[in-house]
Amino acid sequence: MAGVLLLHATGALAQSSTSWRVAFGRDEAALRDIARCCKPVDASPVTLRGTGAAMLVEHQRLRGARLQRLEFSVARTGNFVYDSGLEKVARPEGDRFTRLDARYEYRRYLFSNVIVRGLDIGAGLSLGGSRSRLTREMDDSLATTKTHLDVLIAFVTAARFRRSRFGVEVNWGNGGRISRIGERHSAAADHPSQWGGGWLADLSIGADVSVSERVSLTARFLSTGDTVLSSHSQHTSDRNSLMVGVTYAK
């Protein structure tokens, strides 16, 4: 196996292209408080789950073995329920979770035509930022809002397979984050904020089918899990998005 990889390490990845991708789909978010320090009065085994819509815009430049990707995504989630695993309790309709993400990734394909023709393996680094906001209503006059501003960095490994008009790409990223957390209560005069940190893991699976020389139909599944740890605010979140769209390449 090592000999095969070394044999193809300098294989030709001569193709060059520039592409734009736009996709829309369904987003599902799951949030849970995991506070375990001091007096964890907010800790709960109950998960807050919601569904909504997501949009992805992506610009990609491929030059030989080097790939640069700029990605912007937005998701808005509602229809929340408290899920204990045994039962689900509906939350007020005003509960909302929104998230904006911007990522830049530099990747280099280290091995081409691994084992079979068309299978390439690469690695790279992803940098980015995100802003998320969770609003929960207590009643008609009381609401709380928690906002996260995050800086993200992750190492990425990727595999792609291309044969004729069909292609599949799998990306896995693992890294860390620094968060500034702000909280606002409609009945409180002060709005405290704090810093925290944590880690994240991403899994992305995409497939595309060419319908012409420049246009492809695209489907993408993205699963993201992260954890944030700070004083009296420790929680996890999981997001799953399934989107379909169009890619234009030249």
Cα(149)–Cα(135) distance, integer angstroms: 15
Name the percent of the chain lying above pLDDT 90: 49
Contacts of residue 89, Cβ cutoff 8 Å, sequence gap at least 6:
81, 82
On the question of pLDDT at 14 being above 80, the answer is no
Tell me phi and psi for residue 107, to 5 degrees: -135, 145
3-state secondary structure of 51: strand
Mean pLDDT computed over every residue of the chain: 85
Q: What is the mean pLDDT of residues 193-209?
A: 90
Q: Which of 10-24, 112-126, 130-144 has the highest mean pLDDT?
A: 112-126
Q: In this structure, what token pair is assigned to residue 148?
A: 């996260």
On the question of pLDDT at 157 being above 50, the answer is yes
Beta carbons of 67 and 18 less than 8 angstroms apart: no
Q: What is the mean pLDDT of residues 161-171?
A: 91
Annotate 108-149 with DSSP letters as a single string: EEEE-S-SSTTEEEEEEEEEEEEEEEEEEESSSS-EEEEEEE
Top pLDDT among 174 and 7 is at 174
Q: What is the mean pLDDT of residues 57-83?
A: 92
Query: What's the length of the chain?
Result: 250
Cα 19 to Cα 41, 62, 250: the distances in Å are 49, 9, 6
What is the pLDDT, as a whole number, of residue 46? 79
pLDDT (tens digit, 9 = 90+) per residue, 43-61? 456 788 999 999 999 999 9
pTM, rounded to two decimals: 0.81
Cα(33)–Cα(55) distance, integer angstroms: 27
Cα(48)–Cα(79) distance, integer angstroms: 10
3-state secondary structure of 7: helix
What is the pLDDT, as a whole number, of residue 189? 62
Three-point CA angle 222, 88, 96, nearest 5°: 55
Amino acid at 76: R
On the question of pLDDT at 10 being above 70, the answer is no
Amino acid at 31: L
Cα(109)–Cα(171) distance, integer angstroms: 12
Q: Which of 10-24, 185-199, 227-241 has the highest mean pLDDT?
A: 227-241
